[in-house]
Amino acid sequence: MGRLPGTLVATCSRGLEEVVQAELLALGHSATRATRGAVEFSGGLEALYRANLWLRGATRVLVRLASGVVSSREDLYRLAAEVSWEEVVAPGQTIAVAVAGRHPAFANTSVAALVVKDALVDRLRRVRGQRPDVDRRDPAVRVQLHLALGEVTLHLDASGEPLSHRGYRRHGGPAPLSEALAAGALLLAGYDGTAPFLDPMCGSGTIAIEAALIATGTAPGLQRGFAFQRWWFHDPVLWADLVEGARALSRRAPAPIHASDVDEAAVRATGRHARRAGVGEWIEVQRRDARQLSLPGPGTVILTNPPYGERLGERDRLRPFYRELGDALKTRAAGATAWLLVGDRELAKEVGLRASRRIPLFNGPIECRLLRFDLFAGPAPRRGGGGGCP
């Protein structure tokens, strides 16, 4: 399989399909198909490399190997045994099969992974007289089985570590946001780096760093490795060309990017992570209370995810903070557009401003809303006038 076969799949958090589709369009893929949490496109090695290097909102890039409806172990074995594994796995390479999703025929999903592994191993032993070893921790070839009632799919995982692991953040703060979700929210907000930017509750700095990567045109995958680099048909010359081309595209940030937090440790972490991401010079990091909001310039885009209450009682403790945050937005941010990524709709209502957009997004299993507030100059609207957030 010198050139990879047709269908590639970029997986993503639910709610980011539209973003990933737009990113793929910018990479030259006009014929894409979005499903829940994934976007399909087609191409060869170059398309696959570019997607891994450039997609900001995606979680992984996969190569479709087989798909079909199954209702038993035997069906799944047959489906997996039809894949030309001898073209995917070189002699001596290790393998692992990861499994996601659910299927009534496989109450224990690791049994399904075992069936696929057996089909793969049996086929290679038959064709080649040699079986590959399994290495769950660091396999050369990663197979992904996705279980679903309608269709089971088998993929080759080209990314390995999720694409959100850019490499600049080793230890997040207490509640760090996924890098892909931060970038996806920025792209949903239409942020392109040309307007001033502020995250006034930056935590480990993820949103501001992703903003700086967008603003400087920096490919998010420049600092990390990918599973495809261990494939026997990997083309290191093509890959090096694409990386070099991406490096050459980096530019100055056209507008200021500010990040602040009330917590000194968060301020330090943001600075450290920004430097590691190569965008330290473009982000001004300050210790500041978000209620003392200060905009970096006219037409600022604010995007932030405020603290949320996970434990009982925390919501009540945070209500006054959300009210004061709303007041700060009304009185100190005229002319800005603020986007709040919130997990708690009750708390979001306390902001006391009417959201002009409410976009559902998933932070792992937590359903969030990305709320847009247009902060016009002029008299502040009365609290509660118009219903607030969802």
Ligand X SMILES: C[S@@+](CC[C@H](N)C(=O)[O-])C[C@H]1O[C@@H](n2cnc3c(N)ncnc32)[C@H](O)[C@@H]1O
Q: Which residues bind ligand X (CB under 6 A)?
A: 172-173, 175-177, 200-201, 203-204, 206-207, 261-263, 266, 289-291, 305-307
Sheet with 366-374, side-by-side order of all strands = 283-287, 257-261, 197-199, 301-304, 337-342, 366-374, 357-363
Phi and psi for 193 in degrees, rounded to 5? Answer: 95, -10
Element (DSSP H or E) covering residue 18: helix 17-26
How far from the centroid of its chain's Cα atoms is residue 380's Cα? 35
Shorter beta-carbon distance to ligand X: residue 79 or 347: 347
Question: Cβ closer to ligand X: 46 or 284?
Answer: 284
* Residues contacting 347, CB < 8 A, separation 6+: 306, 308, 309, 315, 318, 319, 322
In the complex, minimum distance from the CB of residue 321 to ligand X, in angstroms, rounded to a whole number:
6
The smaller minimum CB distance to ligand X, of residues 54 and 308, is found at 308
Residue whose CB is less far from ligand X, 63 or 371: 371
Query: What are the distances in angstroms from CA 126 to CA 86, 112, 141?
Result: 10, 21, 19
Residue nearest to ligand X (CB): 203
Looking at the Cβ atoms of 8 and 328, the one nearer to ligand X is 328
In the bound complex, what is the minimum distance in angstroms from residue 390's beta carbon to ligand X? 19
134: which DSSP letter? B
Q: Letter for the amino acid at 387?
A: G
Instruction: State the nearest-atom distance from the C-beta of 258 to ligand X, in Å.
Output: 12
Write down the least CB distance from residue 38 to ligand X, Å: 24
Residue 218 C-beta: closest distance to ligand X, Å: 18
Instruction: Report, in Å, the least distance between residue 209 CB and ligand X.
Output: 9
User: C-beta of 366: minimal distance to ligand X in Å?
Assistant: 11
Q: Which is nearer to ligand X, 21 or 178 (CB)?
A: 178
Q: In a 10 Å sphere around its CB, with 0-12 CB exposed, 13-18 middle and 19+ buried, how is residue 284 labelled? A: middle
Rg of the chain's alpha carbons, rounded to an integer?
Answer: 23
User: From CA 119, how far away is CA 75, in angstroms rounded?
Assistant: 11
Cβ proximity to ligand X, 13 vs 32, nearer residue: 13
